[in-house]
Amino acid sequence: MFCYQCQETAMGKGCTVKGVCGKTEDVANLQDLLIYLMKGVSELSVRLRETGEEMPEVNKFITEGLFMTITNVNFDKQRFVNKIEEAFRICEKLRSRLAESGMSDSLTHCKSLGWQTKSLEEMEEKAKLVGILSTQHEDIRSLRELLTYGIKGLAAYAEHAGNLGFEDAEIYAFMQEGLIATLNDTLSADELTGLVIRCGSMGVKVMALLDQANTSTYGNPEITHVNIGVRTNPAILISGHDLRDLQDLLEQTEGTGVDVYTHGEMLPAHYYPAFKKYSHFAGNYGNAWWKQTEEFETFHGPVLFTTNCLVPPRANATYADRVYTTGAAGFAGFPHIADRLNGQPKDFSQLIAHAQQCKAPAEIEQGEIVGGFAHAQVFALADKVVDAVRSGAIRKFFVMAGCDGRMKNRDYYTQFAEKLPHDTVILTAGCAKYRYNKLPLGDIGGIPRVLDAGQCNDSYSLVVIALKLKEIFNLHDVNDLPIAYNIGWYEQKAVIVLLALLSLGVKNIHLGTTLPAFLSPNVAKVLVENFGIAGIQTVDEDLKLFLG
């Protein structure tokens, strides 16, 4: 295997024996094969689209297939075998429709679909030939992978929006065109770079779509105090990102005597008005995704993974028999809740019955945390924020969005937040916030010094806030604002957020704790020279740099 798509990749170079995430060699290779086959499906789909026909089945297949290959989403080998076989079936449907339309079904760039088998052994042999290293040229490989990881992030957010009935054909079309481009040997590095930036523009578009889906369905997030203690009822812990899954679960647990707690990236669900009507929506349990191996032990009840952030349990884990998955998530041996059919809710009865047999969660902390500062809420505070900036009470904003991770050097972000001067404010989204959202950082004239916009996709809110401030202060360039970007990244959804920022002209973004391994020296140089991308140093050195 060879995989270097996440920040924790082995030795900062690439995982070659087993993924640091826990992904095994056979699963990693089957993921590579699925990606390769989706490129062939995409080529046929793009050709059919030229006739004016759209196949929703193809869009769903590509979107879910991409999401399944994001870090920490799916470790279930059989699910990938099933998905590969689905690729062949969809291929035949596409070829049939193309034939009816009088269009050629020959593939220009991807030869994948001329090869079909139901033999696992042949799949595994083929997978070894089509992985990342099959592109020989280092810079072309780097740009192809950067584009691919951006597209994976697009797919994740498109799936969440789609689950709420919000779709955009342009986003599906770009994902498929972008996949095809990664096999087009006629494209130059400059042309691939252009596609990468276009991917960022699609990132802005998909995050706006998801924001519309979430807020029109559940209301605009509002300032909320979230309990981090526990109650005495048995409970279910829901992790991941999908709000529609949470809605189904809350509706089905109402009146059952089972409470529901959020974990990790599901915390911001508490900020939406629609979920506050559920009295059994108890609070948030624990911290970021990587602490689950200890926190799930003390929760006692079943855990539901709706998306990524799944860590394979240790061999001696006592909670492994009470973890469930749904959607793109999967792990061999974990019961999987089937997708909803014809818009009907998913059936969580098995999960609820399991919870009723469990004891209540053990308390691991007390108190509350404050969040809900998405763009609508910040706009409501705009006068207070602008006055604080103009008076000098707020000297600078620090965007510290992105991901958390298990590496010890992630303490950098806690120390950075602790050492920030008291006239600075942190704007955050994503699970990076767990490094500092429980610190007693105080407020500035009633404005909390940590403004949490929500999940990683809610980084869109931070962009909207920045653009609004640019307008209010009558500036010509968003980079003239008193905003610094010190972002932690981990996986591919953070990649699309980064590309979205670049597409909007945001410069001088600092990424940590390390720069992506998939950036070749030449590609990294382009990003440095054109966008001011940089890594991090020590806390004191970076504070001096940011604050002058």
pLDDT one-digit tens code per residue, 146-172: 999 999 999 999 999 999 999 999 999
φ, ψ at 322 (rounded to 5°): -130, 30
d(C-alpha 198, C-alpha 259), whole Å:
43
Residue 391, C-beta contacts closer than 8 angstroms, at least 6 positions apart: none
User: What is the number of alpha carbons within 13 Å of residue 286 lying toward its C-beta?
Assistant: 26
Report percent pLDDT > 90 for the chain: 95
Q: What is the pLDDT of residue 254?
A: 98
Q: Yes or no: say if 514 and 494 are a contact pair by the CB < 8 Å rule.
A: no
Specify the pTM: 0.97
Q: What is the pLDDT of residue 343?
A: 85
Residue 111 clears pLDDT 80, i.e. is over it: no
3-state secondary structure of 488: strand
- Supply 341's token pair: 């059919």
d(C-alpha 272, C-alpha 360), whole Å:
25
Q: What is the pLDDT of residue 104?
A: 81
Q: What is the pLDDT of residue 68?
A: 98
Band of pLDDT at residue 303, cut at 50, 70 and 90? very high
Q: What is the pLDDT of residue 532?
A: 97
Q: In this predicted model, what pLDDT tens digit does every residue of 78-107 receive, in sequence order?
A: 999 999 999 999 999 999 999 999 888 777
Q: In this predicted model, what pLDDT tens digit does every residue of 413-429 receive, in sequence order?
A: 999 999 999 999 999 99
Residue found under tokens 């600092």: 510
Which CATH fold would you assign to the domain 10-217? Substrate Binding Domain Of Dnak; Chain:A; Domain 2 (1.20.1270)
Residue at 68: amino acid letter: M
Strands 396-399 and 368-371: unpaired
- Supply 359's token pair: 């004891």
b/e map of 438-460 (b: 16 or more CB within 10 Å)? Answer: beebeebeebbbbbbbbbbbbbb
The alpha carbons of the chain give a radius of gyration, in whole angstroms, of 23
Q: Where are the domains of the chain?
A: 10-217, 224-356, 374-547
Residues constituting the chain:
548
φ, ψ at 173 (rounded to 5°): -60, -40
Q: List, in sequence order, the alpha helices (H) in 219-342.
A: 243-253, 292-299
Residue 77 clears pLDDT 90, i.e. is over it: yes
d(C-alpha 440, C-alpha 313), whole Å:
32
Residue 503, C-beta contacts closer than 8 angstroms, at least 6 positions apart: 197, 198, 200, 201, 203, 204
Residue at 92: amino acid letter: E
Residue 261 clears pLDDT 80, i.e. is over it: yes
d(C-alpha 93, C-alpha 79), whole Å:
21
Q: What is the pLDDT of residue 105?
A: 77
- Supply 441's token pair: 């950082």
Region 374-547: CATH code: 3.40.50.2030
Residue 521 clears pLDDT 90, i.e. is over it: yes
Q: In this predicted model, what pLDDT tens digit does every residue of 384-410 receive, in sequence order?
A: 999 999 999 999 999 999 999 999 999
Least confidently predicted of 24-28, 122-126, 371-375: 122-126
Query: Do 224-356 and 374-547 share a fold?
Result: yes
Residue 291 clears pLDDT 90, i.e. is over it: yes
Per-residue DSSP letter, 402: B
Q: What is the pLDDT of residue 244?
A: 98
Residue found under tokens 């890594």: 535
- Supply 332's token pair: 């061999």
Helix (H) / strand (E) element for 529: namely helix 521-531
3-state secondary structure of 517: coil
C-beta neighbour count of 349 within 10 angstroms: 11
Report percent pLDDT > 70 for the chain: 99
Report domain 224-356's class.
alpha beta
Band of pLDDT at residue 108, cut at 50, 70 and 90? confident
Q: In this predicted model, what pLDDT tens digit does every residue of 344-375 receive, in sequence order?
A: 999 999 999 999 999 999 999 999 999 999 99
Q: What is the pLDDT of residue 548?
A: 86
Residue 36 clears pLDDT 80, i.e. is over it: yes
Q: In this predicted model, what pLDDT tens digit does every residue of 217-251 receive, in sequence order?
A: 999 999 999 999 999 999 999 999 999 999 999 99
